[in-house]
A and B are shown apart, each in its own frame.
Chain A
Amino acid sequence: MKRKVTFLLAVVLIAAMLIVGCSGQPAQTETPAENPKTEEEPKESGPSVFKYGFTGWWPDSKNPYLSSYAVSTSTYHDSVYEPLMGLDQNLELTGRLAEDWEVSEDGLTWTFYLRKGVKWHDGEDFTADDVVYSYKVNKEFQLPRWYSSVKDFTEVNKIDDYTVELKTEKPKANILDAMCDIVPEHIFGQYDTVEKALSFTNDNPIGTGSLIFVEDAIDEYVRFKANDNYWGGRPKLDEFLFVYFTNGDTLIQALEKGEIDLCSVTAVQLPHVEKLSGIAINKYDSLTLYELGFNAWEDPASKGNPLILDPTIRNAIDWAIDYDTMIEYAMGGLASRQMSLVPNPVGKWSWQPGPDVIRTYNPEKAKEVLEEAGYKDTDGDGIREDSNGNKLDFRFSVIEADYKDQALIIEQNLKEVGIKVNIEYMDDGRLGDIIENQSFDTDMYIWGWTADYGEPSFILSVMLSSEIGGRSDCWYGNPEYDELYKLQAITVDEDERVEIVHKMQEIIYRDSPYNVMYTQTKVQAYRSDRWDNLQQWPDGNGGLLNYYTKLAVSPK
């Protein structure tokens, strides 16, 4: 009897397990190892399918007017739509939908000669009307995504079917700063009010790009096929898939297994991935910079500690922090020290502090700077005060999921020089709220930006006083800086412009509304046993998911 019950239990449990197991692998016994391989089989006979695995957010919209997440651009828009011009692998200006271009003597009129014979994915001809429409609609409707790029144009004229003229009031230093995605007028034209234009879901994006949209499933994947008629030649692959993952470790397992061909790798995963065979690693310096930001808002409404408005203290904080240790422990070595606002890989636009102004880790120097400025610890509690007894005691808002380790190092480093910080953990929504809606109710925070290749104006714009309440997150304001920004935007002579842009970064370094900490070194891994000719952009030190890879990558 006893044995019978135990036996029954065993049978029940095994049966239950089998039900679970079988429901998962119905064909396992009949056709061993055939089904799981179906994904790999087409490689030999069928189409070649390149799969890029990504984590993070799912793209917010296929509507190119509207989407505000960077991931929407990297998945949909960069594959389907094209601007007039872009940057080649050496970061030189190159024509995309424009074959050639010229600027008038006074620098106020830009003429673009469009490629002939380019067709939209639905077979319609691409003409000057599409370009005129795209520029006009973005400007007139103040559409969120491209408005800042197109707002300077006073006139957009069609000269003939393949020539377009753009006019500005002031010369434009870099026309690259004025590009927007060109959309087909015959599709978008019918959405003739702002409301209609923005609520258009664009379920089947039609562009001119090298990839043609096939289908997508929200939170699962986006599927593209090669554009046979692409003006730059047909891509070497047949299909390109973006596969969504919500877990970074599953992503790496999928790469190892071969369910995907290319993905990003974190510092923690890297040692494991490096050991895998058939997988190659691409490390490059990204344009993503991280900053220790301060409440630099000088308005009386600011709820920050007024002491943090003193650049001397912000400078001293820079002297006091051991960034090398931070990069090693908090970033697993995958970062490069960065001091100026424009990241080093942007090239000539990036300024480097000279030996007379550079601040490197030196706690003694930090103490000296603070002593000189009159911040002394008179009551012996380890925290410095100003002459009125106000303590150097700051609130530090930290996005816990992203910057906890960095914050702990900063807290410790600052304690050593007599500055107290109180870490408050939060998410990015809360941090945005503290700055935007609660009159900047904190003193310090950590955040980041991603700059652009070839053109510094975006990253420089975050320090403008006109961006307070907009893009700015430290609410720094400096009339001199604002003037220089306007000046560089219209300085056509490049050497002259570089000088202005450097001067601006020097001001920021001197005033320290941010202490820029480092730029992230990004790592990607791909199946080198299956694919050849992945391209770096920019060449030599760049990522693999780009326009050039989509064209050139080919199965082995």
Chain B
Amino acid sequence: MNMRFIINRLIYTIFMFIFVITLNFFLFRLMPGDPLTIVSKEIASSPEGRATMEKMYGLDKPMIEQYFDYIKSMITFDFGTSFNYKQPVTEILFSKIKNSLILGFASVPIGIVIGLLGGIVAAARRGKRTDMVITTTSMIIYAIPTFWLAMIFLMVFGVKLGWVPINGMATPGVDFVNNIAYLKDLFYHLAIPVLSYSLAIFGSYLLIMRGSMVDVFTEDYVLTARAKGLTEKQVIRRHVVPNAMLPVSTMIISSLALIFTGAFSIEVLFSWPGMGRLMIESVSRRDYPVMQASNYLIAVAVILANFIMDILYSYIDPRVRVE
């Protein structure tokens, strides 16, 4: 029974995977424009030179042949050479994902923790002034465009107060004496991006956590718990929060998977060399190998996260397992 559930999910996952991988190939090639037309306005390129490049990119092959090359590269994880950077895609992706993970894992957990705690407090005090203050504040911050908020932080903490650097991940052209010096430099560069990023996302967790808890408060088992004579604190801790966490945990898992995709607006503003920027730029440059590989990796991450979540969920919430 249990095994069958897992196998079902697995088959579904594999099917999903094949669908995404095929879509991934054709979607990008259906886009107007190609990587060579893009550079036709740049440095003088001769028709002969263009032909040389076309051959190098493999764009002279028939579409179906390109498709099988593509499938092969996706399975072997050999993503070829980026048209834009002229370097192995795997190398570029690796460094970008690393950078996005640094930023993401420094910011998202902070956002989640503030959001959840805020949500719990607001729900516990629902309808009271505390709730009003917390909910309104978080909605206001949530509604502020991220790039604007981040720009204000950049101007205040970076330029006016001069506490932290404002661009990139590391002070360019510095030979760090040791890793400690490098980490210190990295921390400085992380400060405003992390502050902006976590503030940008905490509101959604807060509102969902609060909403979910307010729903649970109306359940009969909460009434039962109160009737048993538990204090409000005990009711919240033992009955309301665990149940309210169910929908929220789905959101958390999927947002952790999405850390891979980077935070585009933050990355652009601070020139953070991460995945968000890479993906947008590869689209505008029609850099097929990078577009394919990054979409593929994200699809894998999301599909895997969903699969794991499905399995975990069946343990957290036994109702899911019942067919």
Interface residues of B (CB under 8 A from A): 31-34, 37-53, 56, 81, 84-87, 92, 95, 106, 110, 113-114, 117-118, 121, 124-125, 128, 130, 134, 151, 154-155, 158-159, 162-174, 184, 187-188, 190-192, 194-195, 198, 267-271, 273, 277-278, 281, 284-286
Chain A residues near B158 (CB, 8 Å)? 253, 257
Nearest CB of A to B56, in Å: 5
A195, B56: Cβ atoms closer than 8 Å: yes
Instruction: Indicate whether A360 reaches chain B with its CB closer than 8 angstroms.
Output: no
| Selected A-B contacts with CB under 8 Å, 19 pairs | A33-B162, A53-B167, A57-B281, A60-B84, A60-B85, A61-B86, A148-B46, A195-B56, A218-B85, A219-B278, A223-B172, A245-B271, A250-B166, A253-B166, A256-B159, A428-B41, A433-B32, A448-B41, A473-B40
Instruction: Indicate whether A265 reaches chain B with its CB closer than 8 angstroms.
Output: no
B40, A24: Cβ atoms closer than 8 Å: no
B159, A147: Cβ atoms closer than 8 Å: no
CA distance A247 to B148 in the complex (A): 13
A141 nearest CB neighbor, chain B only: B52
Interface residues of A (CB under 8 A from B): 2, 5-6, 8-9, 12-13, 16, 19-21, 23-28, 33, 35-36, 38-39, 49, 51, 53, 57-58, 60-61, 63, 66-70, 73, 141-145, 147-148, 151, 194-195, 198-199, 201, 214, 217-221, 223, 239, 241, 243-247, 249-251, 253-254, 256-257, 259, 426-434, 436-437, 447-449, 458, 461, 469-471, 473
B110, A20: Cβ atoms closer than 8 Å: yes
A401 nearest CB neighbor, chain B only: B284
Chain B residues near A447 (CB, 8 Å)? 41
B42, A68: Cβ atoms closer than 8 Å: yes
A16, B45: Cβ atoms closer than 8 Å: no
B91 nearest CB neighbor, chain A only: A218
CA distance A449 to B271 in the complex (A): 27
Nearest CB of B to A124, in Å: 25
Chain A residues near B198 (CB, 8 Å)? 20
A148, B44: Cβ atoms closer than 8 Å: yes
A432, B172: Cβ atoms closer than 8 Å: no
A5, B121: Cβ atoms closer than 8 Å: yes
B172, A143: Cβ atoms closer than 8 Å: no
A256 nearest CB neighbor, chain B only: B159
* A36 in contact with B164 given A246-B268, A471-B40 (CB within 8 Å): yes
CA distance A540 to B284 in the complex (A): 37
A221, B267: Cβ atoms closer than 8 Å: no
B273, A253: Cβ atoms closer than 8 Å: no
Chain B residues near A58 (CB, 8 Å)? 84-85
Q: Which 8 A-B pairs have the closest CB atoms?
A: A24-B191, A429-B33, A144-B49, A432-B37, A221-B172, A219-B273, A433-B32, A61-B86
Chain A residues near B41 (CB, 8 Å)? 428, 432, 447-449, 473
Chain A residues near B168 (CB, 8 Å)? 220-221, 243-244
A23, B43: Cβ atoms closer than 8 Å: no
B121 CB contact (under 8 Å) in A9, A25, A67, A246: A9
A138 nearest CB neighbor, chain B only: B49
Nearest CB of B to A397, in Å: 11
B188, A36: Cβ atoms closer than 8 Å: yes
B187, A428: Cβ atoms closer than 8 Å: no
CA distance A461 to B46 in the complex (A): 11
CA distance A53 to B271 in the complex (A): 11
B269 CB contact (under 8 Å) in A143, A145, A239, A250: A250
Chain A residues near B194 (CB, 8 Å)? 20, 23-24
A147, B49: Cβ atoms closer than 8 Å: yes
Nearest CB of A to B27, in Å: 15
A26 nearest CB neighbor, chain B only: B187
A218, B40: Cβ atoms closer than 8 Å: no
Chain A residues near B53 (CB, 8 Å)? 68, 144
